[in-house]
């Protein structure tokens, strides 16, 4: 693949589609957002995706570039070889068993490659970000749900049916509460941004217990801000959350003995003391020999990682190679 080749990277979100024109070396020429006017159903979302591609291609012409292919980052389980999204529906009616790759390709005339968003974020960090120079990498996306990806000996580990890397679904407490995915005491249930908010509201007496519905519009970033200002309950909730994250990472350290763990997602933007608490918990709960040289760091590419990963993945597949 020649160095000036470009691709369109797309990320399908819950409220918008993000797109970028990306050069082979990872440079983003420009990026765009296309918001949904209303929550779309399957047909409307596909239409929105095709419109986003068409708009982005038109804008690419202004930069005198002609994208060769399209990479799409999506949530859920995906047949990356055929570009089929199996689900879950991520709040979109009918968003299951969608042959998105072939549908977008037939409308645009370009080759289209689809993969899980956490996988593509990990690929971006491997090529251009915090994972450069490392071979054994664990990527963890800390957000409302916890996503993840594993890179072993420089290759993305996919598992059977491309279902590997569901880090958020490991169980931390076999007697714990059931998550919305039906898993008891999962890492995601106890350590996600939703868990942080829920824990703070329980500790501060704003809801009775963890069974109550969270109707407040409080976000994880708000809890972090309260903790920085010295709010006692927020500080407790943040520390509790860091301990859970560290415990989950400790399991991964003892099983995989990675070179580096990269934390992405919105929660990774918290201050250094949060990372220090996570590292302390991970160290206290993992095998010394496995944790000896492991690094726990922030993701470097932030908001653009999925777009860069989608584009480089598409260009690599177009070149007849697999990551």
At residue 307, the pLDDT reads 97
User: Is 100 a domain residue?
Assistant: yes
Burial class (CB in 10 A: 0-12, 13-18, 19+), 148: buried
Half-sphere exposure of 69 (CA within 13 A, CB side): 22
Q: What is the pLDDT of residues 110-169, one digit of tens each?
A: 999 999 999 999 999 999 999 999 999 999 999 999 999 999 999 999 999 889 999 999
The whole-angstrom separation of Cα 48 and Cα 51 is 5
Q: Are residues 93 and 53 in the same domain?
A: yes
pLDDT bucket at 100, cuts 50 / 70 / 90: very high
The whole-angstrom separation of Cα 24 and Cα 120 is 15
pLDDT bucket at 14, cuts 50 / 70 / 90: confident
Residue 185's closest CA among 196, 195, 198, 176? 176
At residue 181, the pLDDT reads 86
Q: Are residues 152 and 276 in the same domain?
A: yes
User: Is 21 a domain residue?
Assistant: yes
> What is the number of other CB atoms lying within 10 angstroms of the CB of residue 248?
26
Burial class (CB in 10 A: 0-12, 13-18, 19+), 100: buried
User: Is 288 a domain residue?
Assistant: yes
Sign of CA pseudo-dihedral 65, 67, 68, 71: positive
Task: Report whether pLDDT(212) > 90.
Answer: no
The whole-angstrom separation of Cα 130 and Cα 148 is 15
Burial 214-227, CB ≥16 within 10 A → b, else e: eeeebebeebbebb
What is the distance, to the nearest Å, from the Cα of residue 23 to the centroid of all Cα atoms in its chain? 22
User: Is 231 a domain residue?
Assistant: yes
pTM beyond 0.85: yes
Burial class (CB in 10 A: 0-12, 13-18, 19+), 195: buried
The whole-angstrom separation of Cα 42 and Cα 91 is 10
User: Is 128 a domain residue?
Assistant: no
162 torsion bin: left (phi>0), alpha (psi -120 to 50), beta (else):
left
At residue 4, the pLDDT reads 83
Which spans in 132-219 are helix H? 187-191, 193-203
Q: Are 309 and 121 in contact (CB under 8 A)?
A: yes
Q: Are residues 145 and 81 in the same domain?
A: no
Q: Are residues 153 and 215 in the same domain?
A: yes
Query: Residue 227 sits in a domain of what CATH number?
Result: 3.30.420.40
Share in percent of the chain as helix, strand, coil (round to 5): 40, 20, 35
Q: Are residues 309 and 236 in the same domain?
A: no
Mean pLDDT, the chain, rounded, equals: 93
The whole-angstrom separation of Cα 11 and Cα 116 is 10
- Indicate the number of domains in the chain: 2
Q: Are residues 81 and 185 in the same domain?
A: no
pLDDT bucket at 211, cuts 50 / 70 / 90: low
Q: Are residues 27 and 105 in the same domain?
A: yes
Structural domain containing residue 224: 134-299
User: Is 1 a domain residue?
Assistant: no
User: Is 256 a domain residue?
Assistant: yes
Q: What is the pLDDT of residues 20-76, one digit of tens each?
A: 999 998 899 999 999 998 889 999 999 999 999 999 999 999 999 999 999 999 998
| Dihedral Cα 178, 182, 184, 188, nearest 10 deg | -90
Residue 242, classed as helix, strand or coil, is: helix
At residue 3, the pLDDT reads 75
Which spans in 229-321 are helix H? 232-256, 272-284, 288-291, 305-318
The whole-angstrom separation of Cα 157 and Cα 228 is 38
Q: Are residues 159 and 268 in the same domain?
A: yes
């Amino acid at each position: 693949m020649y160095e000036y080749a470009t691709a369109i990277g797309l990320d399908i979100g819950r409220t918008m589609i993000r797109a970028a024109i990306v050069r082979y070396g990872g440079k983003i020429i420009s990026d765009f957002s296309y918001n949904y006017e209303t929550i779309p159903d399957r047909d409307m979302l596909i239409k929105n995706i095709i419109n986003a591609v068409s708009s982005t291609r038109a804008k690419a012409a202004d930069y005198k570039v002609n994208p060769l292919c399209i990479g799409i980052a999506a949530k859920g389980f995906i047949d990356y070889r055929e570009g089929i999204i199996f689900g879950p529906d991520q709040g979109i009616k009918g968003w299951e068993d969608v042959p998105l790759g072939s549908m977008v390709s037939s409308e645009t005339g370009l080759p289209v490659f689809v993969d899980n968003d956490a996988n593509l974020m990990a690929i971006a960090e491997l090529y251009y970000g915090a994972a450069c120079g490392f071979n054994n990498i664990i990527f963890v996306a800390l957000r409302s749900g916890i996503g993840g990806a594993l890179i072993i000996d420089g290759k993305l580990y996919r598992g059977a049916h491309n279902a590997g890397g569901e880090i958020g679904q490991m169980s931390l407490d076999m007697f714990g509460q059931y998550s919305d995915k039906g898993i008891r005491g999962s890492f995601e249930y106890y350590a996600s941004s939703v868990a942080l908010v829920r824990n703070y509201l329980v500790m501060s007496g704003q809801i009775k217990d963890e069974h109550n519905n969270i109707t407040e519009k409080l976000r994880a970033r708000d809890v972090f801000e309260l903790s920085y200002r010295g709010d006692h309950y927020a500080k407790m909730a943040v520390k509790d959350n860091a301990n859970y994250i560290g415990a989950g990472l400790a399991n991964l350290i003892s099983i995989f003995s990675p070179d580096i763990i990269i934390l992405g997602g919105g929660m990774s933007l918290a201050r250094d003391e949060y990372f220090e608490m996570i590292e302390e918990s991970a160290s206290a709960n993992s095998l010394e020999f496995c944790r000896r040289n492991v690094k726990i760091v922030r993701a470097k590419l932030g908001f653009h990682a999925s777009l860069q990963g989608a584009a480089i993945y598409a260009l690599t597949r177009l070149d007849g190679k697999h990551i």
